[in-house]
Amino acid sequence: MYQNACGAAAASAGGCVETDKECHGLISKEPLVPTVEHDYSGFDIVKATQYGAFSRVKELIEGGHNVNERDAENVTLLHWAAINNRKEIMLYFIDKGSEVDAIGGELNATPLHWATRQGHLEAAVILMNSGADPDLRDAEGCSCIHLAAQFGHTALVAYFVARGVNPDCTDRAGMTPLMWAVWKICSLDPTRLLITLGASPNVTDQQGNTALHWAILARNTTAISTLILQGRASLNIPNHRGDTPLTMLQTHLGAMWMSPKVVDMVKEQTFASSTARNFLNKLLKDKRLRWWCMVGTPFMAFYAAGGILATDQIILIKIFLLVCLYIIIHYTGQLLFDDRLMGLLPLSIYLSTKMWFYFTWIIYIMPVVGIALTLFFLISSTLLWYCFLNSWLGDPGIVTTSQQLQFRTIIELAEKGPGGFEPSSFCSACLVRRPIRSKHCAVCNHCVARFDHHCPWVANCIGAKNHKHFIGFLAALILMCSEMLYGSYKYWQNEPSCNATSEEIWQKVVTIGRCNTWVAWVSINAFFHCIWVFMLLVCQLYQISCLGMTTNERMNKGRYAHFIMNAGKSPFTKGSFRNLIEFFECTCCGLHKPEVKDWLTSYDLERNIEHQPLLRHRDNYQYV
C-alpha cells in the first residue's frame, strides 16, 4: 500500500536528499485511465473512487452502498478519494456522512494523513474544513505536519500552522517538523518556512538532538546555514552523547559540503569558547571594532594611495608600493571582515571618496574659485545628502505583515487551490501575498514593492518608495563630480607650477600630476565616478521612460508571463512622457494630474491576465 511503503522510507535513516524520490514515486502513482474512455460500468466502488468516476460512485452509493464501508485492508472510501485528490467525490462522501477521521490501513492513518503524504493541498483543505483533526497520530506517531515536513510539502506545512497546529509539536520519538525537514529535505523550504512561522530550532528530541544536530548528521548545508544565520540556532546544546553542534561542525571544517558562512561562524564560535585569548585577539574579534575598521579602511586606503602617488619616487617604486598597499588591505580584510561586513564595502568606498572630495575642495579649490562657486557646491552637496540618505535609510517599499495576517493569507491562498502558492502571488520567505512587480531580495530578506535592484552603493534595495530619491542621488552625484573636475581645472590654471610649456598632451598631464599629485588623484576618482554614474543614470531613465520597466523586469522579462504575452513589451508603459511624469509624480504646474499607483497593494494586472501565473519558474523569487 502507498502509505506503508512511504512510512517505512520516512522512518529509515536515509539522510537528506533533494527530494524523497522513492516515497514520492510510490505515493504519486494513480490508476491508469481505462482503455475504453468513460466506460466505468464494471468498476466497483473502490476502483471508481480511485479513478474519479463520480457518476459510477454516485450510482453505487444511491444504490445502497454504505459510504463508510471498509475494504479488505480496513481502508475507507474517503481514504482512497483523499490520496487520489478526488475533490468532487470527497465532498460527496462527506455530504453523505463519511467519517472524516476514520482510521485505516496498516499505519492506522486518517484520510488527512493520506492526502498529506501525497501533497494534495486541495484535499487537505476539504478535510480540514469538514472537521478533520490534523493532530491525530498514525501508527508511527506522526501527525500530519510531520508528514508534510518529511516530504517537503511546504504549502501544507504553512496551511497546518495557519490553522492552529503547533509548529513545535513532537512525534513519538520527540522529533519536531523542523527536525524532519532538515533531515529529509535539502531545499531551502520548508526549513525557512517553519522558522518564519515560529518553530524553535533549539527544541530537543528524546536523544537530546536539536534540529541543528539532525542537519549536520544529514550534511544538509542549506539547512545548517538557515538554522544558524536565520533561525539563530544554538551551537552549544549537547545531546545525550555530549556532542554539541559546534563540536560536530569542527570535525567537518575541511569538508567540501561546508559553506563559507558556516565555516566563518564556527571559527568565530571556536575562538569565543577558547580560554587562551590575548588582548590583541580580543580586539581582532571585537564586532564593533571590526565594523569601524570596515568603515574606516576605504578612508585610509584612499589617503594612503594618494600619499604614495605624491612621493618623489620613480614610477616603478610607486607601482610597487601601491601593490603592497593592496596586498596589505586584502589580507587584513580576510582576517577582520566576514561576508556581512564585506557587504558594507561599496558604501564605505562611496562615503570615503566623498569625504576626501570635501577635504580637497576646502584646502585646495575653495581659495581659487571663491565663495559663490563654493556655495553652489555646498547646495548641490546638500541635495546629494538628502537623496542619498533617503536611498540608504529610507523604506524602499517593504511589504510588511503580521503573524495574524500571514496566517490569514496562507488560509485564503490555500483555499483558492494550489495556484495560490505560486511564487508570483506568495512569498514563502516573508509569508505574504506578493504584490505585482514586487520581488524578494535575498540580501535584505524582504519583499519589496516594484523592486528595481539591490544597490550595494547605498546598501539598500531600490523600490517603489525610494526609486525617485535614487535617481536624484545619481544626478546629484554627477553634478558634484563635475564640480570637482571644474574646480580642479581652475586650481591648475591658477597654480604656476602646473603650467606646462610643452603643447603635448602627455607632457601636460605629467606636469599637472607633479605640481599637486593629490588634486590629480582626487580628480581621477571624480572623473571615473562621473562616467559610470552617468551611464547608470542614462540606463535608469531609459528603462523608466522608454521601456516602462524596472531593472529586474528588463533583465528577467523572459520569466514573467505578462511580458511574454505582450511580446516582450511592458504592460505598465504609458508612453515616454507619461512614464516620466508619473514616476516623478509631476503635476506640470497643474496641467497634468499623475496617476499615483500604490504598488504595495496592487496584486493584479489591469489587462485581464491576472489569472495567469506571473512567473514561469517557481524558484525565481530567490534571486536578486
Mark whether 530 is an active-site residue: no
Alpha-carbon distance 219 to 217, whole Å?
Answer: 5
Closest CA to 19 of 213, 118, 180, 150: 150
Alpha-carbon distance 512 to 226, whole Å?
Answer: 55
Closest CA to 202 of 171, 179, 223: 179
Asked if omega into 423 is within 30° of 0 (cis), the reply is: no
- Cell numbers describing residue 37: 474512455
**Cβ proximity of 177 and 218 under 8 Å:** no
Alpha-carbon distance 22 to 18, whole Å?
Answer: 12
Alpha-carbon distance 80 to 6, whole Å?
Answer: 16
b/e per residue, 595-615, with b = 16+ CB within 10 A? eeeebbebeebeeeeeeeebb
Beta bridge partners of 560: 615
CB within 8 Å of 624: residues ≥ 6 apart: 439, 441, 442, 443, 453, 454
Burial of 451: CB neighbours in 10 Å, binned 0-12, 13-18, 19+: buried
Closest CA to 490 of 373, 346, 353: 373
Burial of 94: CB neighbours in 10 Å, binned 0-12, 13-18, 19+: buried
- The number of beta carbons lying within 10 Å of the beta carbon of residue 362 is 12
Closest CA to 21 of 184, 221, 188: 184
Name the 3-class secondary structure at 266. helix
**Cβ proximity of 264 and 306 under 8 Å:** no
Q: DSSP of 522-585, one letter per residue?
A: HHHHHHHHHHHHHHHHHHHHHIIIII---HHHHHSGGGBHHHHTTTT--TT---HHHHHHHHTT
- Cell numbers describing residue 63: 444504490
The Cα angle at residue 108 between residues 3 and 97, in degrees rounded to 5 = 100
Q: DSSP of 494-531, one letter per residue?
A: H-GGG--SS--HHHHHHHHHHH-HHHHHHHHHHHHHHH
- Cell numbers describing residue 302: 584612499
Cα dihedral sign, 337-339-344-350: positive
Q: At residue 593, what is the residue type?
A: K
Rg (CA), the chain: 32
Which entry of 23, 144, 430, 455 is annotated as an active-site residue?
455
Residues recognised as catalytic: 455
